[in-house]
Structure 1
Amino acid sequence: MKHLALIATTAASALFAGSVLAADYTISVTLDTSPQHVRNVWLKDFAKAIEEKSEGKLELEIFEAAAKYKDSEAAAAVAQGAIDMAIPQYQLISRFVPEADFEQLPMFYGLGRDQIYAVVDGAVGDELHAKIEEKLRVKVLGRPIDLGFGTVFSTDVELKTPADLAGLKVRVPGGPATVQRYENIDAVPVQISWPDVPQALQTGTISSLWSTQESVASAKLWDAGVKYAMEDRQAIVQYVPLINQRALDKLPEDLRALLIDTWDEMVDAQRDFAAQRQQDARDLNAQNGIVTSDPDAEALAAMRQRLMQVQPALVEELGIDPAFIDRIAAVTGD
């Protein structure tokens, strides 16, 4: 019996030692969205793939629901080395790199997914990522992943056309181009971090918000009074992966390559997954009483034309390089 106990103890010790060795390298990641959110769900799949491909040598430690940082703070936290990795929205990096607000400009109003990918996955995206890397001293791990096209939600006003937003206090995630867009629509933009949105709705600080079907469903914002929505495809929301350069450099060369290559291999499927999640979320929101409308093409075209008239002044005000805008226009055909 003592012999068997010794064998069992030795085996347990070996398993423990193996688990310790398996955690040779850990990358800490901050997210401010809930565990059910599309970004969180997919990142856990990515983490699982990394762990399996590295045979347990590299792990991602994911901190969710702003347990570490809000997305508005995440890029700075990565740059400072307070956290290894974050995946914030592009526009939340625009205070460091003005060009990062590009997807919120009027020229992106109404574009389809393929048109947007042609910009972000090509030379323009590479140029932007190089600017971000130089300014923040971080590494952009790869192509952005999707949340999806933004949707406008309301607690009291039924939204059918962009003109219905006039006068409403609309929550925006941040980014000066987004703020300007709503001011040009005659709404009142209010910058509020995502974890603070439910309380802001319940207290009347805002009566509307620009988000996505997925985000609203994952946070069950019907409980906070959201009743109406409008799919006017103002802009797409994408997340860009940032990793602290020192944290990346600490990894062996093969693990660095594994991290970058696996990200790239999984991006296209993530984007399709996010699009399906948006549709599923719209269905779920409908089941919980949120009525979504789709403006007609004429209303959208009229609003795009109105917004495009102010784009040159907006680009100048935001400090975006006009040549960068010209390179985008060459891809989109504007």
Structure 2
Amino acid sequence: MKRLALIATAAAGALFAGATFAADFTITVTLDTSPQHVRNVWLKDFAQAVEEKSGGKLELEIFEAAAKYKDSEAAAAVAQGAIDMAIPQYQLISRFVPESDFEQLPMFYGLGRDQIYAVVDGEVGDELHEKIENTLGVKVLGRPIDLGFGTVFSTDVELKTPSDLAGLKVRVPGGPATVQRYENMGAVPVQIAWPDVPQALQTGTISSLWSTQESVASAKLWDAGVKYAMEDRQAIVQYVPLISQQALDKLPEDLRAVLVDTWDAMVDAQRDFAAERQQRARDLNAENGIVTSDPDAAALAEMRKTLMAVQPALVEELGIDPAFIDRIAAVTGE
């Protein structure tokens, strides 16, 4: 009887300890990338920092590899309250807010990181985030984090200049400006969600894709036949953090502050981390047979000239406010 009493006491103690250390609030997050992806790896560090700074009161429950939603569905899911938080690419929000496709416009072709950050972290970025919040009824948690500059990959055609893309079926993540860019380059863009890319490559649905070194490495797409790549710095890919207003309203003010402040404090280091991961991924892809080329300045300048010629018509077609474009140009000096 004494032994049974000890067991019962220990069990009760374990239950009490579990209740003591259980988080008071949980934020569910959806990602469609693999656990090794730079976004997933960093978000787990962010989640740990939030848990520590909140004294264990707030935790993030992360659903990876499209276990809940693909990124193309994520913004709508947050807006509907089906998931608390998502971090989709800007261009995947453009069907709700056309200006969200801004980084894929020709004017961003070839820009450096500092020029891009001056736009997204300043008044123009604030204006865009306010449009997103008002349209979707969500809250933008803070500044965007990076995946990195896009890279074009191919299974059969060695890519050395942008003109080599002519005629290729190229996977794009979404966003009408990206689609238009490839059409203007003479390629055939095909919008495919990231989890479906390996099969699309293996079945020949696409022979090329626009992604990043990091994404290709994390998915081991050399196993799906990818052999060549070209770094023409068409555009940067960034993720914008969206959180359900309902989920945010449930948090006490101090925990809301922990969430927002921790995000902002970690963004700059994440961007550097993402850039480092892209270089390491390029090296890893090379080790697995993917040959990457860097087009010369003349080839890039010629393609930029071609793309910029169609930007005014593209902006009108996409329904982007021309004044918004002017404000971007004033920041970048274009």
CA distance in 1, matches of 2:18, 2:195: 38
Alignment match, 2:97: 97
* Residue 136 (structure 1) aligned with residue 136 (structure 2): yes
1:51-103 CA-to-partner distances (Å, cap 9, x unmatched) read 11111110100000000000000000000000000000000000000000000
Alignment match, 2:79: 79
CA distance in 1, matches of 2:14, 2:301: 67
Alignment match, 2:147: 147
Letter in 1 for 2:182: Y
SS at match of 1:156: coil
Q: Shift of the alpha carbon at 1:4?
A: 5.2
Q: Shift of the alpha carbon at 1:165?
A: 0.2
1:96-122 CA-to-partner distances (Å, cap 9, x unmatched) read 000000000000000000000000000
Give me the TM-score of the superposition, normalised by structure 1. Answer: 0.98
* Residue 313 (structure 1) aligned with residue 302 (structure 2): no
Letter in 1 for 2:167: G
> Equivalent residues in 2 for 1:139-218 (5 A)?
139-218=139-218
1:171-198 CA-to-partner distances (Å, cap 9, x unmatched) read 0000000000000000000000000000
CA distance in 2, matches of 1:308, 1:51: 46
1:241-300 CA-to-partner distances (Å, cap 9, x unmatched) read 000001100000000011000000000000000000000000000000000000011111
Alignment match, 1:31: 31
CA distance in 2, matches of 1:205, 1:37: 24
1:211-252 CA-to-partner distances (Å, cap 9, x unmatched) read 000000000000000000000000000000000001100000
> Equivalent residues in 2 for 1:1-334 (5 A)?
2=3, 5=7, 8-19=10-21, 22-334=22-334
CA distance in 2, matches of 1:265, 1:58: 17
CA distance in 2, matches of 1:92, 1:46: 23
CA distance in 2, matches of 1:102, 1:146: 15
Letter in 1 for 2:34: S
Q: Shift of the alpha carbon at 1:5?
A: 4.6
Letter in 1 for 2:74: A
CA distance in 1, matches of 2:7, 2:155: 65
CA distance in 1, matches of 2:105, 2:11: 63
CA distance in 2, matches of 1:73, 1:5: 49
* Worse overlay, 296-305 or 94-103: 296-305
CA distance in 2, matches of 1:6, 1:92: 54
CA distance in 1, matches of 2:158, 2:263: 40
SS at match of 1:247: helix
CA distance in 2, matches of 1:238, 1:156: 28
Q: How many residues align?
A: 332
Letter in 2 for 1:15: A
CA distance in 1, matches of 2:260, 2:251: 12
Letter in 1 for 2:295: P
SS at match of 1:320: coil
Q: Shift of the alpha carbon at 1:14?
A: 2.4
List alignment gaps of at least 5 residues for structure 1: none
Q: Shift of the alpha carbon at 1:6?
A: 5.9
Letter in 1 for 2:16: A
CA distance in 1, matches of 2:272, 2:135: 31
CA distance in 2, matches of 1:238, 1:275: 12
CA distance in 1, matches of 2:261, 2:225: 43
Compute the RMSD of aligned alpha carbons: 1.0
SS at match of 2:36: coil
CA distance in 2, matches of 1:5, 1:80: 46
SS at match of 1:238: strand
CA distance in 2, matches of 1:147, 1:35: 14
CA distance in 1, matches of 2:107, 2:15: 61
CA distance in 2, matches of 1:156, 1:46: 39
Letter in 1 for 2:215: S
CA distance in 1, matches of 2:232, 2:327: 25
CA distance in 1, matches of 2:77, 2:201: 28
CA distance in 1, matches of 2:120, 2:80: 26
Letter in 2 for 1:181: R
Percentage identity across paired residues of the two chains: 87
List alignment gaps of at least 5 residues for structure 2: none
